[in-house]
Amino acid sequence: MAYNKLSALLDGLTSAVFVLDDKRRILVANRAAERLFGTKRTSSHSGNHSQLGLDFVRAVRHPECLKAVDKVLAGSHQEQVILSLRMSVPTTYQVNICTLDEGTSPPSGALDEARLVVSFDDISPIREAEKMRSDFVANVSHELRSPLTALTGFIETLKGAAKNDEQARNRFLDIMEAEAQRMKRLISDLLSLSKVEINEYMRPTKRVDVAEIVKRVVTTMSPQAAKQGKVISFQCSSNATIRLPGDADQLTQVFHNLVENALRYGDSNTNVEIKLSQIERSYGLIGPVLAVEVKDQGPGIAAEHLPRLTERFYRIDAGRSRDMGGTGLGLAIVKHILSRHRGRLQIESNVGIGSRFIVLLPLDIK
């Protein structure tokens, strides 16, 4: 294989690849390696070592990686290193270093000096997925452990000290019922989130009337609002196009979650306002957009929390959220449903004034 053909072959790989000689000097660096490490190519391959390029340490200055390269040069057949690079976005690479034996080395005269290959595979998405899965399991375990511990404790008490105490028994049963309902809500939200994620890449095609969906949510939630001394008002702009491609059940869940949050966290005796309008454009979306704003007059949310509100189990005040029946998954479900509809959620809030959750839906999904 000629030098130019070998170089062209390696340039077709997405992984960064270096070919080194027995002195740890770079013989070949593909384009991915150039982009990653700023390595300059050398077109010389005449066998004169002074023309073969820089020492590998000039490109990759990572002690563990260099140590692994030296081990392979000293006789080890293969080494593997996990390398984290501080770039604009921290990235993790799996570095594979292996020798070129007689069965795999280039034909005589092509790159006689080649002794080993060093490749860099980006495993950041895998690491991120592992971390997300680990965090998710830890969060679910924590959320279920608390009510289960409470239920176990009360059951033991009712079977023992409070066995014949009717007043205590009634009080404990009320608490147990509340904890059981909390677990039920959590499991329901987990199932909803799982279902939404499975269908996230399947774009809805059936056209739905968003105004009618919102009206149904208002009708459903109004009795709950009345118990709190609140009113849910709905205003629809006369020039708004209210039909668009969507999943009626999922959009109902979006507005139900947002209205429920507004009722749950808004100040007492304050109303929830819903406004539907059409805007010509919105950042990140193509074409005209339908905007559905859910506004409360609650305590507001500090700016540092806003970017994380749609994360799973993220809560500003975990204790207060649990006491009010929140699972920490509602806005995560909203985010994934809107992603399926190629829309997004915009959150605006001022401490002491209130919050605005704005659902932005493109009128035509491309």
pLDDT digits (tens, 9 = 90+) for 95-125: 999 987 655 555 444 466 788 899 999 888 8
What is residue 359's predicted lDDT score, i.e. its pLDDT? Answer: 94
CB 101 within 8 A of CB 10: no
Domains of the chain as residue ranges with CATH = 3-122 (3.30.450.20), 125-198 (1.10.287.130), 202-366 (3.30.565.10)
- Per-residue pLDDT band for 209 (boundaries 50, 70, 90) equals very high
Q: Which range, of 102-106, 126-130, 151-155, 217-221, averages the lowest pLDDT?
A: 102-106
Rounded percentage of the chain residues whose pLDDT exceeds 90: 21
Q: What is the pLDDT of residues 176-188, one digit of tens each?
A: 888 888 888 888 8
Q: Burial level of 19, CB count in 10 A (0-12/13-18/19+)? A: buried
What is residue 102's predicted lDDT score, i.e. its pLDDT? Answer: 53
What is residue 52's predicted lDDT score, i.e. its pLDDT? Answer: 46
pLDDT at 153 over 70: yes
Q: Which range, of 41-50, 196-205, 250-259, averages the lowest pLDDT?
A: 41-50
What is residue 181's predicted lDDT score, i.e. its pLDDT? Answer: 84
Mean pLDDT, rounded, for 292-309: 88
What is residue 321's predicted lDDT score, i.e. its pLDDT? Answer: 59
What is residue 45's predicted lDDT score, i.e. its pLDDT? Answer: 44
Q: Burial level of 193, CB count in 10 A (0-12/13-18/19+)? A: buried
C-alpha–C-alpha distance, residues 258 and 255, integer Å = 5
Q: What is the pLDDT of residues 65-90, one digit of tens each?
A: 999 999 998 888 889 989 888 766 77
Taken as a whole, the chain contains a residue count of: 366
- Per-residue pLDDT band for 318 (boundaries 50, 70, 90) equals low
What is residue 88's predicted lDDT score, i.e. its pLDDT? Answer: 62
What is residue 259's predicted lDDT score, i.e. its pLDDT? Answer: 92
What is residue 46's predicted lDDT score, i.e. its pLDDT? Answer: 42
pLDDT at 44 over 60: no
What is residue 365's predicted lDDT score, i.e. its pLDDT? Answer: 62
Tokens representing 163 are 């066995």
DSSP 49-93: GGGS--BGGGT---HHHHHHHHHHHTT-SEEEEEEEE-SSS-EEE
Q: What is the pLDDT of residues 21-36, one digit of tens each?
A: 888 888 888 888 888 8
CB 242 within 8 A of CB 276: yes
Mean pLDDT, rounded, for 329-334: 89
Closest by alpha carbon to 263, among 273, 278, 276, 275?
273
What is residue 47's predicted lDDT score, i.e. its pLDDT? Answer: 39
- Per-residue pLDDT band for 320 (boundaries 50, 70, 90) equals low
